[in-house]
Amino acid sequence: MNIVNPVLPGFNPDPCILRSGDTYYIAVSSFEWLPGVRVYQSKNLAEWEHCTDIITRQAELRGNPKNCSIWAPQLSWHEGLFYLVYTDVKSSRRPFKDCHNYLITAPGIEGPWSEPVYLNSSGFDPSLFHDADGRKWLLNALWDYRIPEGNKSSGIVMQEYDAVQRCLIGEPAKLFDCTPLKKTEAPHIYRQNGYYYLITAEGGTGTGHAVTVARSRELAGPYEVDPLNPMLTSRDNPGWPLQCAGHGSLVETPGGEWYMAHLCTRPVGGEYAILGRETALQQVYWNEEGWLRLSAGGHFPQLEVPAPAGEHAPPRRPNRFEDTFDGPQLKQNWNTLRILADDSWCSLSRRPGYLRLAAGESVQSLFRHHILAIRQTDVCFRAETTLEYEPRNYLQMAGLLLYLNDENYLYAYVTHDGQGRVLRLMKCAADHFSLEPEAVPLGDGQPVHLAAAGEGAKGQFYFRTGDEPAWTELYASQELGFLSGGFTGNFIGIAAHDMGRFAGSHSDFACFRYEGKD
């Protein structure tokens, strides 16, 4: 059996992999989407399922800019406790970066998780190393605003963490400077073969991304860089199917095999990372000189790698998701922007069998955008929803969204143009807003069915009303390449907005379906 990459398709970046007993876990970044820090689990490294999300009540994200909020969680386990360290980024506008690092613990992966312990704000991508002598050390990338041009990561710093006092003690010490690849971040330390191995990401999270490995006999260094650095990268082969390879972490199987989880992208049409940054696995080993190497040889990430000995799994199938809103709570896969879903705006009880969304602020709001969305996990997909909505004016709208961030989205929505209920399509690409000039009359009282289909970098919206069996194209097909870039990936969601009066209207959704296609 082979592991087929990416193992976590769609927006699942900055993976941290961990084994506890016979279960593997991967925690990924969530940025402005809540609940935060999605965690997946597996028994064989090939089949992964979403098991929990960790950040719920611990963070206040309202007002945080796009591509900020929850970065690069690191999950560890020591003496009966799970530890999670993460960054809450409040601003990344150069030359500064307001990034606050926190630590929480729990007896089990599903919690209950402790209240956050504030650690520092000197940089991002925190990592906690549990040494054999019982001492704990926090590592993070160091941000230096004084660097005149480009990225301002200046290396990795380390400081001791006192688990009894629940605070950092002593002074931070510089552990590692950047290699010529620069942009050093995402530190992880592993003890192996009498060495401390420092795994970092370098080269930036785009096409120059790479994994750098260095080692030292002493925790505090000095660290010797792998003579064949980088250990993993796609930077010198722009046609390789997995791009942006970097941000790696290691796990050892019970049988003594080693694997690296890492970030990657699959550019659609060789250009657009519409699905965002994904997670892949590579089989690795320690060579005779004690350096980490890909089992496949070279430094390019592979689309398929051998699974651990004795493991078997059925072939992968396209992803499917459906919520008919007839249960006591929303399905686990949903995400919201900067605020959690609660009964004040997202109710399954006010009209049983439907999801009632109270209208929020505009589609570009950074505070109370009332949207429920899921990750696009397939290059080709179709999503459908049915809603009942009776807007009274053009400021009220509800419908189906393809959403990267507040500057890049497509929105098919029901609204009112002064003459009656209509269907419209708005687009924002690189913060340039446009609106299809001709509205589609709908009439009143009938449910509206909306669909969106993606075929690579092309997309098409559809609609029908009432009991009509046939779908009608909504305007022309759309180029989707602009739903790419930044730190997240495209989401597909349902939403309601009212710019006349906050929560002044509501929409009832009967269902939502998503299906990937081969």
pLDDT at 311: 83
pLDDT at res. 130: 98
Question: Can you spell out the DSSP letters for 121-180?
Answer: -S-S--EEEE-TTS-EEEEEEEE-TT--SS--EEEEEEEEEETTTTEEEEEEEEEE---T
Residue with tokens 């990401």: 201
CATH of the domain spanning 2-306: 2.115.10.20
Is the Cβ–Cβ distance between 360 and 369 less than 8 Å? yes
User: What pLDDT, on the 0 to 100 scale, is given for residue 185?
Assistant: 97
For residue 319, give the H/E element and its range: none
Tokens standing for 26? Answer: 């991967």
Domain boundaries, the chain: 2-306, 320-517
pLDDT at 136: 98
Q: What is the pLDDT of residue 312?
A: 78
What is the structure's pLDDT at 151? 82
Q: How far apart are CA 17 and CA 27, in angstroms?
A: 7
Residue 396's pLDDT is: 97
Residue 314's pLDDT is 74
Q: Under a CB-based contact definition with an 8 Å cutoff, are residues 358 and 344 in contact?
A: yes
Give, for all 518 residues of the chain, the pLDDT tens digit. 799 999 999 999 999 999 999 999 999 999 999 999 999 999 999 999 999 999 999 999 999 999 999 999 999 999 999 999 999 999 999 999 999 999 999 999 999 999 999 999 999 999 999 999 999 999 999 999 999 887 889 999 999 999 999 999 999 999 999 999 999 999 999 999 999 999 999 999 999 999 999 999 999 999 999 999 999 999 999 999 999 999 999 999 999 999 999 999 999 988 999 999 999 999 999 999 999 999 999 999 999 999 998 887 777 788 999 999 998 999 999 999 999 999 999 999 999 999 999 999 999 999 999 999 999 999 999 999 999 999 999 999 999 999 999 999 999 999 999 899 999 999 999 999 999 999 999 988 899 999 999 999 999 999 999 888 999 999 999 999 999 999 999 999 999 999 998 778 999 999 999 999 87
Nearest Cα to Cα of residue 369 among 414, 408, 423, 406: 406
Residue 371 to residue 385: CA distance in whole angstroms:
14
Active site residues: 14, 185
What architecture is the 320-517 domain classified under in CATH? Sandwich (2.60)
Count CB neighbours of 24 within 10 A: 22
Nearest to 279 by CA among 53, 515, 4: 4
Looking from the CA of 145 toward its CB, the CA atoms found within 13 Å total 10
Question: How many other β-carbons are positioned within 10 Å of the β-carbon of residue 343?
Answer: 11
> Which DSSP state fits 360?
B
What's this model's pTM, rounded to 2 decimal places? 0.96
